[in-house]
Structure 1
Amino acid sequence: MFQIIGIVLLFALVFGSYVISGGKFEVILHALPHEMMAIGGAGLAAFLISNSTTTMKATLGGLGKAFAGPKWKKQDYKDLLSLLFQLTKTMKSKGVIALESHIEKPAESTIFQKYPKVLKDHFATDFICDTLRM
């Protein structure tokens, strides 16, 4: 969302400053296809010349991620906090031994199974389990 707002703001400020300083917007509209071809083409050509295939693929993947939005949504963070609350509540009420089965095999845990998105992210699951083992 912020990427789109940034692009709109960029164009509004650049073209707005041109119009405010006395420039005619019709001139920009007339020259826009040619200017975009020259500037965009030069930028694309410079990018192709200066980068490896791996870097180009990573850049395209990064652009896709930037416009896709965040991986974790508000509800996912609530689920994560609820999971941590249930784990610490279990540890406090039933003891550390009762928690061991949940953190040793999180895929089989009744607590972890309530939060499938957290369970599916092995980095988050490993981090939680490793921290609680200590």
Structure 2
Amino acid sequence: MLILIGGLIVFASAIGGFMLAGGSPVLLLHASEFVVILGIAAGVLVIASPGHVLKHIVHKVKGCIVSQNAGRQEFFDLLKLLYEIFMVGRRNGLIALEEHVMEPEKSVIFKRYPSVLNHADRLEFLVNGLKPVIDGKIKPDQLEELMEAEIDAKSEEWDHPVHVLQLVGDSLPGIGIVAAVLGIINTMAAIADGPEMVGKKVAAALTGTLLGIFFAYGFVNPLANRIKFNNAADLLCLRCIMQAVAGFAKGLAPLTAVEIARRSLDSSVQPGANELEVALKALPPVK
């Protein structure tokens, strides 16, 4: 929602200021300039990105517009889920976790926390971290290194859309100049048509420069930055999971492992220690 509000503010401020100065929005509507600017920008995007990155860009942009970023409640739910999972492992043995980890969609624990169950990356990372704990294929001291490597790989993958959008944003002012030059060439060919026609064509050419700068600094670069913040929040979720799972694998009590994970969180999303402890103790036991 905030991204839509921000976009509306950018658009309204530009058009509103132009109108207050006596301009008419109709003067900015030159289809040829929009075709040049948006067409070349789309071409740059296609040239610069492999197919899977293009799909990832669409997914990330959609996530910025329609999805809410992980907030305090999502982290609260994540910590409660981790605690419940650890308590099952502590009470009934690690083998009891198998039914929850192998088929989380059927798990009574995971079903209580849709913010994790319905988020593919968080769910996959948690399941992949718990599987070695259950089957004992690696030593507890090695688990954190394994999960850290997975986080590094995901971080690099998630940064690809950011880099591509920044490239497009940095290219847009130059693309605007291309549109303006094309407009000036068109103007030179119409000098014989009189000052009025020349004035209209010069205005259209200048609109090309305006649009390039406007789209770059008003929308594309801010959007890339928002994706970067969203990536940071998602990585914080993964690091929270890593801290808790690694601590539990080393033999820490469930409450202690979850407390370590809580302390690793940013203050803006970190639940209070007493608040979390009360919520955890109030959870119903899982049989």
TM-score (structure 1 length as normaliser): 0.61
Report the CA distance shift for 1:26/1:130 in structure 2 as closer, same or farther (over 3 A). same
Question: Alignment partner of 1:113: what SS?
Answer: coil
Equivalences for residues 13-24 of structure 1 within 5 A: 13-24=13-24
Q: Shift of the alpha carbon at 1:11?
A: 1.0
| Contact 2:3–2:64 (CA under 8 A) maintained in structure 1 | yes
Report the CA distance shift for 1:15/1:86 in structure 2 as closer, same or farther (over 3 A). same
1:31-55: CA deviation from partner (whole Å, max 9, x where unpaired): 2544322321121123233433343
Query: How many pairs does the alignment contain?
Result: 123
AA of the residue aligned to 1:82 = K
AA of the residue aligned to 1:81 = L
AA of the residue aligned to 2:2 = F
Q: Shift of the alpha carbon at 1:9?
A: 1.8
Structure 2 equivalent of residue 25 of structure 1: 25
RMSD between superposed Cα atoms in Å: 3.6
1:17-71: CA deviation from partner (whole Å, max 9, x where unpaired): 322333222323xx25443223211211232334333432332232233233147
Q: Shift of the alpha carbon at 1:8?
A: 1.2
Q: Which runs of 5+ in 2 are unaligned?
A: 101-106, 130-241, 251-287
Q: Which runs of 5+ in 1 are unaligned?
A: 91-97
Report the CA distance shift for 1:19/1:59 in structure 2 as closer, same or farther (over 3 A). same
Structure 2 equivalent of residue 6 of structure 1: 6
Identity %: 19
Match 1:40 to one of 17, 22, 38: 38
Report the CA distance shift for 1:21/1:103 in structure 2 as closer, same or farther (over 3 A). farther
Distance in structure 1 (CA, Å) of the matches to 2:49 and 2:72: 37
Structure 2 equivalent of residue 52 of structure 1: 50
Structure 2 equivalent of residue 66 of structure 1: 64
AA of the residue aligned to 2:126 = A
TM-score (structure 2 length as normaliser): 0.34
AA of the residue aligned to 1:45 = G
Distance in structure 2 (CA, Å) of the matches to 1:5 and 1:73: 19
Report the CA distance shift for 1:64/1:100 in structure 2 as closer, same or farther (over 3 A). same
| Contact 2:84–2:109 (CA under 8 A) maintained in structure 1 | no
